[in-house]
Every structure is written in structure tokens, then in C-alpha cells.
Structure 1
Amino acid sequence: MRKTIKAVTVLTLFTLLFSVCGSMMYADATESSVGIFSGVKDIGKTGKPGSVTYKDGIYTIKSSGDNIWWNADGLTMGYTEMEGDMEICARVLSLEKTAQFAKVGVMVREKLIPESEHIYVGFKPTSGIEVVWRSFEKGQSRAEGDDLILFPYWIKLARYKNIFTASCSEDGKNWEKLTAVEIDMAQKVYIGIACVSNTTGSVTTAKLDNVIINRDVQVPTGLSESSGGIKYSTDVNYPDRKLSYKVSWLGNTFGNTKGRSWIQNNVEAMSVSADGYIYTNSGWDEGGRSASVYSGKDGSPLGRISQGGEPAKAVAVSGNSLYVAKSINIFSYKLTDPGNPKAGPVFKLDGGSAEGLACYNNQLYVSCSDGNIKVFDLKTRKRTKVTWKLDRAGAMVVDKAGTFWIIQRKTDGKKGNILHYSAEGKLLSESIADVDNPAAITLDASG
């Protein structure tokens, strides 16, 4: 009798569950398939277990992952393993704001480990769409995005060989490319949806629909293949978008009459400090101002940093210090009073003149006319062991991931390039080839 009652109870319980859940499928981050995905997994630093459910065409993903950023990720991923060319598209419907950098989107990942190479495109709760990628295992992440594109919105990530293209669409038909990057991933990878709460103490909930994975991948427009590998032309690597601008302030290159500001002739580079002061250099100026400082509010000149002598070729600001390159000398200044820099120690090059400067991790990187990138310790002012060869090196900038973008100048018979290096001098992917005449380089707020 007890066995009969037990059997009826289990059957009744199953019937109740089926009638309540209908066609819903569920998998937590330790179980297997759900919807089109063969697995669900918490990767890296997470708090409570994540999950993926599927009902009536909508995927609900929950995660307490730390972030998709830096050199290791913490996320929840619904995935399937695929080989070769592929693409995934989805429409992001919602994302609960547990933190500023909570995320939900689609991802291709080489391994299900925190440090893996990957590329992701998706949304933050209130600050737009974002593409994040890591080009090599344990490397620093890079990102770019558009704060004005908000969900509900369609996203797509396509792989053709080792070119990964991220796109977005308002209607799922007309697509706008966000970016395309080359990442040397294995042929067999994991593709799916990914989510983080950006705080391991809380679980965020996100919803996506129209999630489709297929192998019908078109060859990206502008792609060329040769024995030297796959390359994008520069007009394809970056979308043709019109940049909006406004004139912040105007000045005069001669005299300083009432209502006018002295602006140097031939300003070649500038660096803006965290508190908004603008430091510039000039190859030649009528007033002999090879380097100057201006107010970021109204452009008024605040001080003459140097006068006469060799023209200043580059400037860089790091914390409360300013560095101005003039021939073989790199002059340092303390910015205790930002409008009136005080002269400090001088760095001397052992060959070539300085063409570009950048500061990172208490070190000063110098691109030199003798075909070398040289690195100084900012405390000892001595050369470090890090150096690498790069002919025609010019201006440089360092991104938030700690990698360097360096202009390789145009010369007779050779076009310019923008080359991407690690802080140790390793040439990285995403370099931009055949730039007509690059002269200056900077980064937007995303780094």
C-alpha cells in the first residue's frame, strides 16, 4: 500500500510541475543543455550559482559574475561547442542594474576558463552597447562601444577564420558594424550568451530572444587574403561615422591683446591632465614658446613651460608630473601648481632624439629617431631592460589595458602604420596598416 501511495505521489508531483512550467527548460551552471545550448557554466569569480532558462522563445540568464574585463573574467555562460566559421545573433530585451558594469550579450570563447581569449558584444544597464575582447590568454582586455545605443536592440557576433566582427541592429535586418578584430583562436570554440552582475554579492537577471546560431557566415566586406595573412583595409576596420565637434576657444598666434589668447604656432601634440589642464608643444613659435600650459575651461594661457632652444617634439602627463621631449633631453616638471610647472630632473637619451612619449606603470616610454623604443624608470631615471626596435616611430599612446599604439611615420615609398604593442615590446594584433600620413593619436574615454 505504501508503494502505491508513493508512486501516485511522484506521478502527481510530475503532473503538477509539467502543468505549471509548460515548455520551460531550465539548467543551472552545473547542469547540461537548455534551448540551443549544450551547457551552462559559471566561469571565474562568481558568487551565487548562475542559471539559464528557456520558455516561449525567451532566454533568461542569471549571474553573479564579477566582470568581463582585465586579464580574467567572472561570468555565467550558456554555450555550445562549434568549429570553423559561425555567427550568433540575439535581441537583448532587458538587464537588471545590479551595478554600473553589469553585462549581457553574446560571446565566442576559446576555453571555459577565466583567462581565455574571447570576444563579447552586449549591453550595460544604462550606458549603451560595448564590445570587449582579449586577444591572448591571460592578456589584458580591450573595449569600445557606443553609449547612445540602448536595448531593446539586436546584436551579432560573426567569426570568419580569425576575423571576429561585432554588429548591432535596430530591427534585426539592417546591421551596423561596430568593430572587427583579429584574434588567433583555436578552430573549436564555445559560442553562446554571457552575463555578469558586476558584483559577486548580487544576482542580475537578463532576458534575450531571437537567439540564433548558424554557419552561414558572409566574407566580411573589405577583407583581403594573401601569403602575409588576413588584413582589413583601414576604411573597413573603423565605421565611417561623422564626428561632431565644437570650437572650445580661439586664440591669436601673435600678441596678447585684450580678449585674445596667445596660441602657439604649429602645435604638434598635447596632453590633458586629469584635472583638465592642457599641455602642448610646438615645433616653432613666434614667441619662442616650445611648450605651454592652457586652461581647459576657456583656453587662456597659464604659463610658458619652456622658451627657445630645441623645439619640443612630445609631451606626456602622469599623475602630478609633466614630461617634455626636446631632442635628446626629456625635461620633467612637477605640477603642484598645474598652471606654473616647476622644473625637475632631466632624462638624457643615449642615441637618437625623442619623437613620442607615454607613461605607464611608473615608467616612461620614448620612441626615438634611431629606430628604438626606450623605457626609463621614473624613480631612478635609468634605462630599464625593456627596449625594442621600431623604425620611423612617432607619437604613441597607452590604453587602459596597458598596451601601446604607436605611429610609424610615412616616408618616401613607405606608407604609415599604427602598430599595437604590449608593454614588453611584443607586437600584438589589431594593428592598422597603410595609413596615409598619421600625425597624432589619442583614445576616447573608454580607453
Structure 2
Amino acid sequence: MPDFHFTLPHWLYWVGLIVFPLIAMSLGRRPRSGESRYSIPLAYMILVTGGILGLHRFYLKSLLGLIFVPIFLFVLYANGQSTDARTIVSNISNELKIAERTLSREKPRLEEARTELEELRAQLPTVEAGSFAERRVERGIKRAEDSIPKSEQRIAEAEETVNRIGSSLEEAQASRSFWASAAGYAFYVIVALMLIDAVLIPGMVRRANDNIVEERKTEAEIALEAAEAEEGPKADADHVENWIDRLSLTCGEFVAYWAVIAVFVYYFEVISRYVFGSPTNWAHESMYLMFGMQYLIAGAYAMLTESHVRVDIFYAPMSRPRKAWADLLTSIFFFIFAGTLLVTSYIFAMDALAVPTGNSVVSEWARGNLGFFEMLGSLTFGQWTDPNVRWGEISFNEWEVPLWPMKWVMVIGGLLLVLQGVSKLSKDIRAIARGY
């Protein structure tokens, strides 16, 4: 398989979290025609993102997409066999290295012990009987006689290991090379099929659109849809009564599209890991941080649309004024929580900028070494582009993504929650005053 190593740049991560939802929101608000048709741009997007599984052909209702599935499964199987063979090669290589180190260590020791034994045996008749020198020579002879058989045994075992696993290592290396090549060739077949389909997609889309049969709804289906529209839950826009509600709704819609980013990132991680054998060091952490920020930003949206968990056994039967009184009383606890979240998240965000390793003027301001306006005047283009300038706290893994933006998103989430609480409070007071 070809090598495939890609590390997501930090700037692309943060820009993607901003730009992708904006594009998605603009596309989602476009007027739609009543007729549903297949799209060439969408077909190409599916080809790029899921073409390795033939999803673009399934989208266009072509059963020839089934050709991609067994080839892809063979790639996974071959990669699995290659991984197993690599493990075997690694184990055998380690065992061989240990045996070779044993030989390189024990052979000189054996020669040294034999030479020392001959010298001591020759020296023994020349020393005085019963003297300390005689006892020292005898101990040396005994030590050499004991060490020689042990060294000979270690050398014999190491030589036997080298002879035994030499052929096994060659077989494992050949197996690994075979499966790696097989996976590579199968992958190249998929790439070739994708390139062919890239040329054929416009014609495939035209044929798919020509085969569309207009589906007519029965009167019963039309009546059912009308009833669901009349009795169903309120739409999100129906909850909006002021600019705070509109802000919460927009922010909730914005971060909702982050879930789509997660689909692409985890798909990329699976393909990188199991097809190319190159797991990333950033996919899990990037999505972990993203979902944490999504949870915080979406809090105000959940409060606006009343989609959070609540025990309704007593609350649901109440009239609107009674519900307003209940919400008014419980809002005390809400503002304690939301205020604490806002204050503590602000402290966390400032601490993230003020870590001792930060050397940006913003970090100096966060540590109290610069005034706010002095910090603004000291910002230069190099502060944004110089890779040696470190902006506050970073993660501890190899990706080393800055964490201070996430801490400031916590502040934004807390602020949105407080504002939505104020909006809810004003609605409750108005409901009590009006009596409905």
C-alpha cells in the first residue's frame, strides 16, 4: 500500500469549524424546487468521500457499485494479514537480535575465561602452599571453570535460535511483502474504477434523472401530513420572540453542522487506519474538543426549544401562568449555575492564555505584564504567522493544538446561556402579568 500520512494543520481545523457551518447554513436556506433530481456536484462529492465503497453508484441507483465492495473487503483482509505478518516479523527480528547480542557478548567472555583459566592453572604451582595467594588463584580457577560451561550453553542456545528462526524470518517477510503488494494492487484497482466513474458521472446523472418516476401521494397521505403539521411539535422558529432567541437559534443551527464534520473526520480516520495502515494522531482529539464546544454552545438552543430533559409529571398539566411561576422560582438555581459557568470559564480562558510558556503579547497581557491597549498596539503580523510564537495552552499529545480557543468558547456558551435565561425570565414575567 502507498504511504499516507497527513496531519491536520491547526489553522485549518479552526477555520473549518467556522467556514463549513456557514456554507451549510447558506445551502440549507436556498429555495428548493418541488422536483427531486440527482445532482452532478453531489455525485462528485460522494465519489471523493465514499467512492472507495462505490457509494456514488449507489446514490445514482447503479448496482455496479457492488463491484467496489468485495475489492474493498479484500483490501481490509490483505491489510489485516499484512499487519499480522508485520507483528510476526517484529517478534522474530527481536528474538534474532537477542540471540545475536548473546553471541557477540558470550563468545569474547568464553575466550577470556579460557585464557584466564590457563593462566591461573599455570600460576598455581608457583605460589606458596596455604598462602592467601594460593586461595585467590584457586577461587579464580573455580570461577572460570563455572563460567565456561554457562557461556558455552548460552552460545549453543543462541546459535540454535539463529539457525531455527532464520528461515522463519524470511517466510514472514515474504508473507508481509505479498499481502502488502496485494492490498496495494487492489487499492489501485479501486482508484482506477473511481477515475473511470469520474468521467462517466455526468452521463450517469442524466440517465438517473431520466429514470425518475414522479411519485403521487394519495389523499390519505396528504391528509396525514396535514394533521401532523397541525398537531406536531412547534418548529424551532416558532420559539423566537426577540433578538436573544434569534441569536440562540442561529448558534444552535451553526454548531449542529459540526456533527457532519465528525462523519467525514471519522470516515477519514477509518480509511487511514485500516486501508493505508496510517492512523492519525489528531482525529480523535479534534472531534473530542469539537463536541465539547458544541455541547456548550447548544445549551442556549436547548433551553430556547425546551429540548432538555425535564420531569413533566407536575409541570405539564399546569396552565401557562402557573408554569411561568414555576419557571420564575426555579430560575434562581438556573442563574446560579449559568453565572458560575460564565465566571469560571472566563477564569479558565484567561489562564489558558497566560500559561508560562506563552510568548505572544496576548499571553503577556493575560499575565498582567501588558495593558489592554498596549497589547493591541503591540500586535504585529509576525505574532500571527511566526511559528515560534506560542499562543497559550496547548494539548499534551503530538498534535499540540491550542486549547485556549476552546476555553473561550466556554465563555461564549456561558454568556449565551445567561442571555437565554434573561429572555426566558422576561417571557415568564410577561405571561404572569397577562394571565395567559
- With normalisation by structure 1, the TM-score equals 0.19
**Greater strand share, structure number:** 1
Choose between structure 1 and 2 for higher RCO, CA contacts under 8 A separated by at least 6 residues: 2
Larger radius of gyration: 2
